Amino acid sequence: MEKKENTGKVFLIAGSEPLGSAGVQADIKAITRCGGWAAAALTCIVDEDVNRIKGIHHLPTDLIVSQAESFLSTVGADCIKTGILPTEEIIHAVAGVLRRFNLQPILIDPVIVNYAGEQLVSDAAISAYKNELFPLATLITPNVREAEFLLGHAITNPESDLKKLSEWGCNVLVKSVEEGDYLVDYLYETATGTLTPHPKKKLVLDDRNGTGDTLASAIATHLAKGDDLTTAVERAEAYMSYFLAGPRYYISAGL
């Protein structure tokens, strides 16, 4: 029997939500569509309907760690991506797992504020992101509100602002910077000091929920398949153009 080609294993450490449009559910769909293999350790269960988030229920930290160790010690991963890590304790524990297994690349998609800029996790959790996770990351992918929260001001000069966000030693992709009729994803690569814009014409979308998760997971998949960072982002952006323009299930414009 002919051996199958390695598809690139992406291991997710993230939360689950019931709508199927964000979190691990969105991650798995994007990874599969981009030709990768998805596996996951769940960090929390989000209870929400199309109108509101009704609750976020954390899983025990030792269970999160055990899930990750079970997969990484027996199967291994070609890229690790984190999603929602709701507490300082969980962030600290996940950072410990990443250090122990010493796997690269690592993509950290920080979940710290919502699109309105409202803080979702504690100050201690944000400090743990900065001090423990960002220094381990190959790439961090904050949305524009998260990037502005981390900077402490609005993005006015993408080159200097993203360079500031790379101070932890990571490459940076800031998602959805508004510029006229366009939303621009900016990639800053620390090794070369290169800033690359990826502009997209604004679309009128019925549903925005989970688009950031989808882009980050597409990048993780192409990294897992062996692409360099520049190529992985280019291919993920091309996938997003296809994903956003194509027919999708209508969930809710409110989430």
Separate counts of helices (H) and strands (E) for the chain = 8, 9
CA–CA distances in Å: residue 168 to residues 104, 133, 154, 198: 16, 9, 20, 23
Query: What pLDDT digit, counting tens, does each position of 202-230 carry?
Result: 766 555 566 788 999 999 999 999 999 99
Asked whether the beta carbons of 23 and 209 are under 8 A apart, the reply is no
- Mean pLDDT (the chain) is 89
Residue 255 is predicted with a pLDDT of: 45
Query: What pLDDT digit, counting tens, does each position of 52-97 carry?
Result: 788 889 999 999 999 999 999 999 999 999 999 999 999 999 999 9
Choice between 182 and 250, residue whose per-residue pLDDT is larger: 182
Residue 210 is predicted with a pLDDT of: 62
Residue 51 is predicted with a pLDDT of: 78
Query: What pLDDT digit, counting tens, does each position of 113-151 carry?
Result: 876 778 889 999 999 999 999 999 999 999 999 999 999
Cα dihedral sign for 116, 84, 184, 171? positive
Query: What pLDDT digit, counting tens, does each position of 227-245 carry?
Result: 999 999 999 999 988 776 6
- pLDDT higher than threshold 90 for residue 49: no
- Domains of the chain, CATH where assigned: 9-147+207-239 (3.40.1190.20)
User: Across the strands, what pairs with 52?
Assistant: none
